[in-house]
Structure 1
Amino acid sequence: MGILNITPDSFFTGSRFSAPDDAAREARAMLKEGAKIIDIGAFSSRPGADLVSEEEEWDRLKEVIPAVAQVMTEFPNTFISVDTFRSVIADKAINAGAHMINDISGGNLDPQIYATAAQHKCPYIMMHMQGNPANMQKNPSYQNVTTDIVKFFSEKLPLIHELGVHDTIIDVGFGFGKTLEDNFQLLRELKAFQLLGRPILTGISRKSMVYKPLESSAAQSINGTTALHMAALQGGAQILRVHDVKEATETVTLFTHLMPQGIDHLLPIWER
């Protein structure tokens, strides 16, 4: 999953593309490098970020999604994900050409998003976040981060299934209301989430859990990101949400040689 941010303030400047032509060009480049999903987001969810208005979020997306959708016609079996927690934005995005919803709040900020996903019969990515982007890194606390988040999903998934959301992907939410130690515990214990029986997406790319231990920066964290991507794959991740598609594709290729069964058996049906 290649990251395409339509924002002026996302934490990694290399993922920012606001003009439709520029966004389409970047999407084509990522697809050529092996991306199967392009995740388009119009608000920054970095720690401490302010929420943009619904009107501004859609204004950023409304021309970019059709432009990227046109590019997708050149690449069979590829998909657009809209990164939003707002049901109204998700509905408009699906109607404009997106195929799935990536919700950083897991429905906590707008529960109506479940009905939107059910109405469109589209895949829904449910991420765990403690708090919201403005306050999530202010003293996050868990009894046990792994068991607490397993419980979160085990309670949420049956509820949204009853509402008609059947194609669900889970994301533990690295960096979203987690300490550095929490992040590494989750990565170390990622296999625990396989018990939920849903595909696992991980978003580790260039985050502070990569560059802080290395005393580096987001711009200099590609090697560390690659190392943790391999750990995520070994822990059962089926989708890597990344800024650097070529490097991630190479990591997946090497993982398939390392593991005799490869990764295809882990992928959701729509991505095979």
Structure 2
Amino acid sequence: MASTSAASAPGAALPWGSRTYVMGVINLTPDSFSDGGRFDRPADALHQARAMLRQGADLLDLGGQSTRPGAMEISAQQELERVLPALELIRSACAEPGGPRFSIDTFRSAVAAAALAAGAHWINDVSGGRRDPAILGVVAEFGCPYVLMHSRGDSRSMDGLAVYGDVVAEVRQELLRATDTALAAGVRPDQLIWDPGLGFAKNTEQNLALLRGLAELRREGFPLLLGPSRKRFIGAVLNEPRPRARLWGTAAVCAQAITAGTDVLRVHDVGPIVQTARMIDAIVRPPLG
């Protein structure tokens, strides 16, 4: 079990527990499930980044490899060609002291290393170090925050791996094993942020069970990030096939997640979720000091 000091360690780069942080999703891909092709040019990505920052985003998460179910994987070089120009443009236009943190959504060590060298602050790894274990050494070397997400398989196989006896207990155990692997590679506990991986090798009922069990995961002492935005399980519950029409379902999930202790919400619709988070924070988080 992690020390509870992990939740407030300075290496985590954010003062955990004071409020909920919102991470804006910028997909630099032509094939992401809800906004593929909208921001795959650096100028469009910059426009979206500025809009998200105006709406109150604390972090921007840039990804060059779609991880939706069934997505085609590209090479590390192709991923870098998508990520680095956008990162460099957004950083030059938006970076300022105390400004936004830039996260890179990748499971590849080469992409992580190049992006961190170019000024990214976080690595968000949907595979939790499974796909390319060398990424753990990169994270250890740079000392950056690392979102360690639970998943099984890859984009093409994960739907067939959604088999659990007790999804909360098994996700917790698999996250703990991945954490042990990361620590053995030199990653510090205060760098780690857990993500239970909604929608990754989980069906609708399993996602709902995970949401009910978030407090159990948060008790391990690591900050918790959740990415429910526009996901299939919300569409299934609401009978809403259009991903971009799932805002209110996403907001409901985010409200519940905050009450269970979630620290970061990764979303596409930054403005409404910032408002949701501020309102729920005012209700459930007592003022510090």
Alignment partner, residue 263 of structure 2: 238
Gaps of 5+ in 1: 266-272
Q: Is the 8 A contact 2:153 2:161 kept in 1?
A: no
The structure 2 residue matched to 1:168, chosen from 192, 206, 213, is 192
Q: Tell me which residue corresponds to 1:189.
A: 213
Deviations, residues 6-51 of structure 1 (Å, cap 9, x unaligned): 0000001278311112111211110111111100000110011111
Query: How many Å separate the matches in 2 of 1:75 and 1:249?
Result: 21
Aligned to 2:234: 210
TM-score scaled by length of structure 1: 0.93
Question: Which of residues 48, 53, 57 in structure 1 aligns to 2:70?
Answer: 48
Q: Distance in 1 between matches of 2:283 and 2:84?
A: 42
User: Which residue of 1 is the match for residue 61 of structure 2?
Assistant: 39
**2:8 corresponding residue in structure 1:** none
Q: Cα offset for 1:221? A: 0.6
CA distance, structure 1, for counterparts of residue 92 and residue 139 of structure 2: 23
Deviation string, structure 1 residues 86-118 (Cα, Å, up to 9, x no partner): 000100011112111000000100000000000
Partner amino acid, structure 1, of 2:216 = A
Matched, 1:199 2:220: no
Structure 2 gaps of 5+ residues are 1-22
Describe how 1:2-41 pairs up with structure 2 within 5 A. Answer: 2-13=24-35, 16-41=38-63
Structure 1 residue 252: Cα displacement: 1.0
Secondary structure of the residue that 1:137 maps to in structure 2? helix
Cα deviation for residue 69 of structure 1 reads: 1.0
2:237 aligned counterpart, secondary structure: coil
Q: Which has the higher contact order (CA 8 A, sep 6+)?
A: 2
Of 98, 107, 118 in structure 2, the residue corresponding to residue 76 of structure 1 is 98
Provide the identity percentage. Answer: 37
Q: Larger deviation: 125-134 or 65-74?
A: 65-74
* CA pair 15-33 structure 1, distance change in 2 beyond 3 A: farther
Please state how far the C-alpha of 1:139 moved relative to its aligned partner.
4.9
Matched AA of 1:128: H
The one-letter amino acid paired with 2:41 is: A
Work out the CA distance in 2 between the residues paired with 1:121 and 1:161.
12
In structure 1, the residue corresponding to 2:103 is in which secondary structure? Answer: strand
1:4, 1:15 within 8 Å by CA — same for their partners in 2?
no
Report Cα offsets for 1:227-251 as digits up to 9, x if no partner: 1110111111100000011011101
Deviations 1:146-193, CA, capped at 9 Å, x for gaps: 101111122222332232212100100000000111100000110011
> What pairs with 1:239-258 in structure 2 (closer than 5 Å)?
239-258=264-283
Q: Deviations over 1:202-245 (max 9, x none)?
A: 00000011111111121211111111110111111100000011
- Aligned residues: CA RMSD: 1.6
> Aligned pair count?
264
Quick one: structure 1 residues 189 and 253, their matched pair in 2 at CA, closer, same or farther if it must change by over 3 Å?
A: same
Q: Secondary structure at the match of 2:193?
A: strand
Structure 2 letter corresponding to 1:32: R
Distance 2:239 2:161 in 1: 22
Aligned AA for 1:261?
P
Q: Distance in 2 between matches of 1:159 and 1:111?
A: 9
Matched residue, 1:131? 153
TM-score of the pair, normalised by structure 2: 0.87
2:238 partner SS: coil
Which secondary structure state, in structure 2, belongs to the residue aligned with residue 3 of structure 1? Answer: strand
Relative to structure 2, which stretch is displaced further, 66-75 or 203-212? 66-75
Retained in 2: the 8 A contact 1:3–1:15? no
